[in-house]
Structure 1
Amino acid sequence: MSMSRDVRFWEIRPNKSSKRKKTYEVRWKVGGRERSRTFETKALAKNFLLDLQMAAKRGEEFEIKSGLPESMIQAKEAVSWLGFVQAYIASRWPHAAAKTRDSMTDALATVTPVLVTDAAGMPEAETVRTALRQYALLPADRRPADPSPEIVEAVRWLEKVSLPLAALAQTATVHAALDALALKMDGNPAAAETYRRKRAVFYNVLQYAAELEELPANPLDRIKSQWRRPKVAETVDRRVVVNPRQAKELLTAVSYVGRRRGRPMVALFACMYYAGLRPGEAVALRKQDCHLPATGWGTLTLETSRPQTGKRWTDSGEAHDKRGLKQRADKETREVPIPPELVRILLDHIAEFGVAEDGRLFRSQRGNVVSSSSYYRVWRDARLLALTPEQVASPLAGKPYDLRHAALSLWLNAGVHAPEVAQRAGHTVDVLLQRYAKCLDGDREIANGRISRALGS
């Protein structure tokens, strides 16, 4: 097999030779030999071109005869569904965020056990899932060197009974996969958002198979209209949103959880409420990111986020990934003005607790990034102190993330223009207004008044 790293790409262009309908052509050159592939839509062409470009960026060699990179050749040579998804994951892993890796393997570990020729002799469902998540669906260099006998047995069973990839072209097979995605391990219905996330991963794998011409088309496109998908709540439940008085009482309660446990986290939660930060952005905040004047408003300049995913999914081997801001290019920053209340809280925090070696404002007792389990436990105890029994039993501020919901709702109801709120929050305007539509107060009364005046009543 003759291989080369001499690869060149051209812009996608409409295929002028197509007379029936407009198609799009991807063109590239490998070792001086031109290649092309035609797609029915520009989006499909872009996806294929991006796959080629990412393979070149990873330093893969391309086969001169087919024009495809090593990862795509491995996927095309895979006979079974399991072999194909293993090749798919290996191609996506290097440039995927840790949470994306986690989500990808989670979805495929849900659907792969049902895509088998015969379920006879199947190990325990939990064992099969563990074998997929902790071994079979990891790149070869990420797998443990000495898996347990139970995992080895489960992987052998999967390799033996995994469906041929071509079987995914059958509607009944895809329906069985969708049924699996819609259920939890205990057989109860999965949350709508969970189903949508897993279905998106499944769709992308099938789309990759279609790009490589291993399937005639993405079968999910054909059955979309026949499948009743669980409805997904797009808007924030206004019942979780605290008012300013409740927010301040909760922050005060955090300080009473304990000097070593709660008090160092008062400023962490305050960043979520007064600045609308995501938890991953808050735990990554450094002193050098903060402009904290003696009086008036300050500014936070955000550049990184440290979402918690697990050591298995990060390149560093740490529990927290280190990545750029959500929906922004690498190294792109976001400035968030902060009110005097938060400026004072941060100044007091730095004076009392100092900062980590790298300037992080918040750290564990060992100097590490604050874990979500730690601040969730503190928040749970603070709710018990600050809220009435009825409120504790309600969704009100049930999670630390609800402080961000409260912040954005407050800004919108205060009359701040949506583009400004979106800029501070790191959202698009469309997503902002869609998600917080139910949290806007007074819209119904304003609309009723306008209708009344129009009716002359």
Structure 2
Amino acid sequence: MTAPGERNASSTYDVRVWAVTRVVGKRATTYRLRWEVGLRRHSRSFSTRALADSTRSELVGASRRGEAFDRESGLPQSRVARERSITWWAWSLTYVDLKWSALAPISRRSLAEALIDVTLQSSGSFPGRPDTAELRRAMYQWAYHAQRRASGPPTAEIGAAVRWLERASPALASFDDASNMRAILAALARRQDGAPAAATTVARKRAVLHNALELAVEHRRLPSNPLSRVSWKGPRVDDMLDARSVVNPDQARALLAAVADQGPRGQRLTAFFALMYYAALRPSEATAVTLDDLDLPVRGWGELHLARSDAEVSGRWSDSGQRSSRHLKHRARGHVRVVPLPPPLVAHLRAHVAEFHIRPGERLFRGVYGGTVNAATYTNVWRRAREAALSPAEQASPLARRPYDLRHTAVSTWLAAGVDSAQVAAWAGHSVAVLHRVYAHVVSGRSDVARSRIEAMLDE
């Protein structure tokens, strides 16, 4: 029954707000806010205490100002009106603008790909729907590209698709419905052809959605993140190294020789693959190495001072519109990773510098015609090298299937040789936690060596 002075049966002034409580779960600690509107109880969970306290302050403040609360949502009428006034489409564009400047080009592309899937699923079957390929093109080329959108309205070719997306987009508040959220998550778990998506792809897209909704909470567009209230498990990400992909020294030498045997194109890439095998570089890091980064003595160990990465992604996602180098993956701008270069690698690099007349400041690796080495080129060279150097059974196995497996081989070699995990992680350019997770079987395999060393010390 509505109390005197209340507007209608859907709202009330009878509000009680309790203190925030800390909830320790198996996966994470959350902060729960509980309050009562009329005789109906409401609760929300937040990832941080600050968000929970902020929402509590808003509820208490609205109650003290004499504002009516909506019985259904448990929120002040002013907030209900604000949340219902913004659509997912409008918020997703705002989200892109908020994130754009801090993202690397490849992350910008990943952000757009995730938002496209969410938008297509949430828009449903609104009348007049254009072709899906046209909708994707409109979002990929304009809507979810902050610079393109800021430069002017969409072209005539995609204008109709953009207008349909504006009309078809549901209210952001509709994401609070668990069934809607489950449908969106299911869409993220599928590829465009309907086949199951890779586990890493699903995890990456879910992370984008979670962050978009988390920022919506921060900007007071949602009371809490609805994704945190949906019990849904995507495909499990198995990032542990497959030991079958690691090559032994004889196989590595044979593969490098097979690369060199492919004429000018292969000869220009022999030292490229050697950097991955001996120094655990990522392909994007090897392409960015210049002569100035190297210390190559005539004898003994050398050293690499790595400060850049050159991930291959279309220039459309960079600020300059061209492909360019950036700071190292998962590292602050300006960070330099120092990597030791064993004598065999020093010999490869010195020979490469001499043969191709690399001068100070120049990149080590260029195409036959002087251009940047791209993934298609070095992947094709590696495929041919496997065919020449490996037996049919080995070719059918995961053994060195990707050039990236040479990096895995280098890290595994360092660990098997007894190098401290922290040192290996520093050389490889990732955290100790990631090292132990990805190379768990290599780390555990060192237990016998560790016990022998401890026993020897005790005997002394």
Instruction: State the partner residue of 1:305.
Output: 309
Distance 1:251 1:441 in 2: 30
2:218 pairs with one of 196, 205, 211: 211
Give the counterpart letter for 2:253 in structure 1.
Answer: K
Q: CA deviation at 1:44?
A: 5.9
Q: Which residue of 2 aligns with 1:437?
A: 440
CA distance in 1, matches of 2:162, 2:189: 24
Contact 2:301 2:343 in 1 (8 A): yes
Aligned partners of 1:354 and 1:361 also within 8 Å: no
Partner of 1:136: 143
Q: Does 1:324 align with 2:327?
A: yes
Structure 1 vs Structure 2: percent identity of aligned residues?
43
* 1:271 maps onto 2:275 in alignment: yes
Task: Check 1:43–1:344 CA distance in 2 against 1; reply closer, same or farther (3 A cut).
Answer: farther
Aligned residue number for residue 248 of structure 1: 253
In the TM superposition, what whole-angstrom CA distance separates every residue of 1:341-397 from its partner, at most 9, and x where no partner exists? 000100000000122674211122443331111111111111111111222222211
Structure 2 matches for 1:121-132, cutoff 5 A? 121-132=128-139
2:363 aligns with one of 355, 360, 371 = 360
Quick one: structure 1 residues 433 and 358, their matched pair in 2 at CA, closer, same or farther if it must change by over 3 Å?
same
Alignment pair present for 1:388 and 2:413 = no
Asked if the contact 1:76/1:84 (under 8 Å) is kept, the reply is: no
1:374, 1:199 → 2: CA distance? Answer: 32
Instruction: Please report how far the alpha carbon of residue 121 of structure 1 lies from its aligned counterpart in structure 2 after TM superposition.
Output: 3.4
TM-score (norm: length of structure 1):
0.78
Contact residue 131 and residue 154 of structure 1 kept, 8 A: yes
Cα pair 1:356 1:363 within 8 Å, conserved: no
Going from structure 1 to structure 2, the CA distance change for 1:433 and 1:129 (only over 3 Å counts) comes to same
Tell me if the contact between 1:292 and 1:298 (Cα under 8 Å) persists in the aligned partners: yes
Residue 232 of structure 1 deviates from its aligned partner by 0.6
Q: Deviations for 1:96-145, whole angstroms, at most 9, x for unmatched residues?
A: 11111011001111111011153443333222222211122111536887
Paired with 1:379 and 1:146, the residues of 2 have a C-alpha distance of 44
The answer for the alignment partner of 2:61 in structure 1 is none
Partner of 1:169: 176
Match of 1:374 among 371, 374, 377: 377
Report the CA distance between 1:151 and its aligned residue.
2.6
Counterpart amino acid of 1:345?
H
User: Structure 1 pair 382/147, CA: closer, same or farther in 2 (3 Å)?
Assistant: farther
Q: How many residues align?
A: 387
Letter in 1 for 2:407: R
Report the CA distance shift for 1:43/1:428 in structure 2 as closer, same or farther (over 3 A): farther
AA in 2 matched with 1:241? V
2:125 is matched with which residue? 118
Q: Which has the larger radius of gyration?
A: 2
Match of 2:234 in 1: 229
Structure 1: distance between partners of 2:142 and 2:178? 29
In the other structure, the counterpart of 2:457 is none
- Deviations 1:287-338, CA, capped at 9 Å, x for gaps: 111000000000000111111111111122223x421112221111110011
Aligned partners of 1:102, 1:376: CA distance in 2, in Å? 22
Q: Is the 8 A contact 1:135 1:144 kept in 2?
A: no
Whole-angstrom CA distance in 1 between matches of 2:181 and 2:159? 27
| Distance in 2, Cα, partners of 1:295 & 1:317 | 43
Q: Do the aligned partners of residues 110 and 417 (structure 1) sit closer, same or farther apart at CA in structure 2, a change above 3 Å counting?
A: same
Match of 2:189 in 1: 182
Deviates more, 1:149-158 or 1:326-335: 149-158
CA contact (8 A) 1:305 1:322 kept: yes
Q: Which residue of 1 aligns with 2:38?
A: none
Query: Please, which runs of 5 or more residues in structure 1 have no aligned partner?
Result: 1-17, 25-38, 49-74, 450-457
| Bigger mean CA offset, 436-445 vs 82-91 | 436-445
Matched residue SS, 1:262: helix
* 1:78/1:84 contact within 8 Å kept: no
Q: Partners of 1:446 and 1:334 in 2: how far apart?
A: 28
Match in the other structure for 2:428: 425
In 1, the alpha carbon distance for the partners of 2:416 and 2:310 equals 30
Cα drift, residue 444 of structure 1: 8.4
Cα deviation code 1:231-274 (max 9, x no counterpart): 11021111211111111111111111222x11100011110110
- In 2, the alpha carbon distance for the partners of 1:186 and 1:394 equals 27
Tell me if the contact between 2:141 and 2:148 (Cα under 8 Å) persists in the aligned partners: no
| 8 A Cα contact 2:308 2:325, kept in partner | yes
Distance 1:160 1:19, change over 3 A: closer
- Counting only pairs closer than 5 Å after superposition, residues 286-305 of structure 1 correspond to structure 2 as 286-305=290-309
Other-structure match for 1:102: 109
- Aligned pair partner of 1:345 in 331, 343, 348: 348
Superposed displacement of residue 198, structure 1: 0.5
Tell me which residue corresponds to 1:152.
159
Corresponding residue number in structure 2 for 1:405: 408
Q: 2:418 aligns to what SS in structure 1? A: coil
Partner Cα separation in structure 2 for residue 382 and residue 41 of structure 1: 50
- In the aligned structure 1, how far is the partner of 2:371 from the partner of 2:151? 25
Q: Helix, strand or coil: the match of 2:193?
A: coil
